[in-house]
Amino acid sequence: MSNERRLDVLRAIVEDYVQTREPVGSRTLVERHSLGVSPATIRNDMAALEEGGYIAQPHTSAGRVPTDKGYRLFVDQISTLKPLSGAERRAIEHLLAGAVDLDDVVERSVRLLAQLTHQVAVVQYPSLRRSALRHLELVPLTEQRVLVVIITDTGRVEQRTIESAEPVDAAVLAELRARLNAVSVGRRLADLTGPYAELPECFAPEHRPVVSAVIAEVTDTLRQESEERIVMAGTANLARSDTDFTRTIGPVLEALEEQVVLLRLFSEMAADDVTVRIGSENQHEALSETSLVAAAYGGAVSSDVARLGILGPTRMDYPTTMSAVRAVARYLSRILAG
C-alpha cells in the first residue's frame, strides 16, 4: 500500500486503539488528528484499508480496529525507534550495573523489561554452545585434586573438580593452564575439540593422564546442551490485559509455562536489531492473539548468544516496546562484554 495518506490514517487508528482499547471511527480521527482532509475522505481511506485487510469492524455500527496485517504494516513503517528518556536510561544502567553474577544480571533484566513495558518479559540464558571462552583457570585444591573454572564471554562460570591418581605437579598445571588459554580464548566452544586433542602430546608421558582428564572435563562441560532455559517476569501484566483477548488467556499462560515454545519462537526469529512477530505469525494457536518483540544480546566476542523480549496482546505500544527491548539488550551485551 503506497498511499501515504492512508498510511497516516492507519497509523492514527493504531495509536488511538492502543491508547483507548475502543474501536476508532472517522469522527474520532478528525477530532484527534490533523490529517488535513475532510471526514468523507477519511471514510473513503478507511474503507480502502478495510478492503485491504488492514483494519476490521468488530461490531455493526462500530469503529474500526487494526488487524494483524495492519499492525504488521504499522511496525514495518517505523523507521526510527524513539530513544528512552534520560530517567529510563539511568534506571537501566543503575539496575543492571549492580548485578553480581550472570544469574543476577538475568533476573534484573527480566524484571526491568516487565516494568518498562508492562508486558510479560522473557530472557533466555546464554547457551554454552553459542558462547566463546574468556578464560580457563586451574586451581590446585590438594595434591591430587584440581578445580577447573570455565569463564565464558557471557559471564557464565562453570566449575568442575578433577581427581588425579597421582600428585599433580604445580609446574605442569601452570603450563597446561597457559596452553589451554592460548588455544581457547575468544573461540566458540564448538570449535575447540581439534586444538584440545593435540595438547596431551605437549607433555611428558607421566603427566598426560591428568592433562587428558582436565581436557575431557572441559570438553564434556562445553558439550552440555541442557542449559537452554529462560526466565520470565510480569505474567500479572498479561492477566490485566485479558480484555484484549477474544478467548480466555488460559492457553496463553499454558504456552508460557512450556519453555520449549518460547525457545522455539526465539530460535526462529531473525538476528536483527529488533524483531517483531505479530499474531498468527507466531504459528502457535495459543499465541495467535499475542505479539513477541525480541532482540539478540551477546558478549564481546559472540554477537548472538541469546535473546530477550516481551510478549503481550497484539494491541500494544510497539514503538515504546521495541525501544525498551533494544535498550535492555544493548545494556546487557555491554555488561557481559565487560
CATH number of the domain that residue 32 is part of: 1.10.10.10
CATH number of the domain that residue 289 is part of: 3.30.450.40
Q: In this structure, are 298 and 154 located in the same domain?
A: no
Q: In this structure, are 266 and 318 located in the same domain?
A: yes
Mark which of 189, 222, 255 sits at the end of a domain: 222
Measured CA to CA, the distance from residue 123 to residue 111 in angstroms comes to 10
Q: Is 273 inside any structural domain?
A: yes
Q: In this structure, are 189 and 97 located in the same domain?
A: no
For residues 139-177, one letter each, b for 16 or more C-beta atoms within 10 angstroms of the residue's C-beta and e for the rest, the string is eeeeeeebebebbbbbbbebeeebebeeebbeebbeebb
Mark which of 222, 257, 292 sits at the end of a domain: 222
Chain position carrying cell 516494568: 115
Highest mean pLDDT among 9-13, 151-155, 199-203, 251-255: 9-13
Q: Is 156 inside any structural domain?
A: yes
Angle between helices 4-20 and 39-51 (to 10 degrees): 90
Quote the domain boundaries for residue 202. Answer: 129-222
**Of 83 and 23, which is predicted with more confidence?**
23
Q: Is the pLDDT of residue 302 over 60?
A: no
Q: In this structure, are 283 and 301 located in the same domain?
A: yes
Q: Is the pLDDT of residue 167 over 80?
A: yes
Q: Is 81 inside any structural domain?
A: no
* 215 bridge partner residues: none
Q: In this structure, are 63 and 41 located in the same domain?
A: yes
Which sign does the torsion angle of CA 184, 224, 309, 23 carry?
positive
Highest mean pLDDT among 76-90, 125-139, 278-292, 324-338: 278-292
Please give the distance of CA 57 from its chain centroid, rounded to a whole number.
34
CATH number of the domain that residue 192 is part of: 3.30.390.60
State residue 129's pLDDT score.
Answer: 61
Q: In this structure, are 29 and 145 located in the same domain?
A: no
What confidence tens digit (pLDDT) does each residue in 268-288 have?
876 667 999 999 998 888 899
Q: Is 97 inside any structural domain?
A: yes
Q: Is 35 inside any structural domain?
A: yes
Q: In this structure, are 182 and 212 located in the same domain?
A: yes
What does the mean pLDDT of the chain come to? Answer: 85
**Of 68 and 251, which is predicted with more confidence?**
68
Q: In this structure, are 116 and 264 located in the same domain?
A: yes
Cross-sheet strand order for the sheet of 120-124: 230-233, 120-124, 306-313, 290-297, 275-278
Q: In this structure, are 160 and 301 located in the same domain?
A: no
What confidence tens digit (pLDDT) does each residue in 105-125 have?
889 999 999 999 999 999 988
Q: Of the ranges 9-23, 150-164, 312-326, which one carries the lowest mean pLDDT score?
A: 150-164
Q: In this structure, are 321 and 246 located in the same domain?
A: yes
> Of the candidates 335, 308, 337, 302, which has an alpha carbon nearest to the alpha carbon of residue 116?
308
CA distances to 204, 261, 277, 288 from 283, in Å: 57, 10, 10, 7
Q: Of the ranges 28-37, 204-213, 274-283, which one carries the lowest mean pLDDT score?
A: 28-37
Q: What is the pTM of this model?
A: 0.75
State residue 294's pLDDT score.
Answer: 94
Q: Is 54 inside any structural domain?
A: yes
Q: In this structure, are 111 and 41 located in the same domain?
A: no
The answer to whether residues 306 and 138 touch, using CB atoms and an 8 Å cutoff, is no
Q: Is 186 inside any structural domain?
A: yes
> What is the percent of the chain where pLDDT is above 90?
36
pLDDT band at 255 (very low <50, low <70, confident <90, very high): confident
State residue 300's pLDDT score.
Answer: 46
Summarize the confidence of residues 316-334 as an average pLDDT: 91
Q: In this structure, are 147 and 261 located in the same domain?
A: no
Q: Is 47 inside any structural domain?
A: yes
What's the number of domains the chain is made of? 3
Mark which of 175, 191, 222 sits at the end of a domain: 222
pLDDT band at 299 (very low <50, low <70, confident <90, very high): low
Which triple of cell numbers denotes residue 20?
A: 483507548
